[in-house]
Structure 1
Amino acid sequence: MSLKARLLPLRRRLATLMAASGIALVASVTASPVHAIETDTLIPAAPQLAASSWILMDANSGRILVEHNSDQRLPPASLTKMMTAYLVETEIDDGKLSPDEEVRISVNAWKTGGSRMFIREGTSVSVDDLLHGVIIQSGNDASVALAERIGGSEGSFADLMNQHAKRLGMKNTHYMNATGLPHAEHYSTAHDLAILARSIIEDYPDHYQIYSQKYFTWNGIKQPNRNKLLWRDKDVDGLKTGHTEEAGYCLVASAKKDDTRLISVVMGTSSEEARAQESQKLLTYGFRYFESKKLYDKGAVLNQARVWGGDKDQVRLGMAKDVYLTVPSGQSDKLTARLDVSETIKAPVQAGEQYGTLQIKLDDKVLAEEPLVALESVEQGGLFKRLWDALMLFFHGLFN
Structure 2
Amino acid sequence: MKVSVRLFAGLRERAGRDELVLDLPEGARVADALAAVQHLAPGTSLVLAVNREYADPDVELAPGDELAVVPPVSGGAVVDGPLSLDAVAERVRDPRAGAIVTFSGTTRDVAFLDYEAYAEMAAERIDAIVAEAIERHGLCRAAADHRYGRVALGEASVVVAASAPHRPEAFAGAREIIDRIKAEAPIWKREEGAWAEGAVPGAPETPDAPADPEAERPLGGRVLDVAIDARLEHGGHVLVVHGVAEAEARVGWLGGRFHQLRCVEALDPAPVRGDVVEVRRLGDDELLGEATVLDGAARRHGPTNDALVRLVALERGEEPRDDAAIAPPPLDAEALALERRYAEAGTRPPHDVDLTPDERAALFALREAGRVVLLERGRHVHVDFAA
Q: Aligning the two structures, in what range does the TM-score lie when normalised by the shorter sequence?
A: under 0.3
Structure holding more helix per residue: 1
Larger RCO, structures 1/2 (Cα 8 Å, 6+ apart):
1
With normalisation by structure 1, the TM-score equals: 0.22
With normalisation by structure 2, the TM-score equals: 0.22
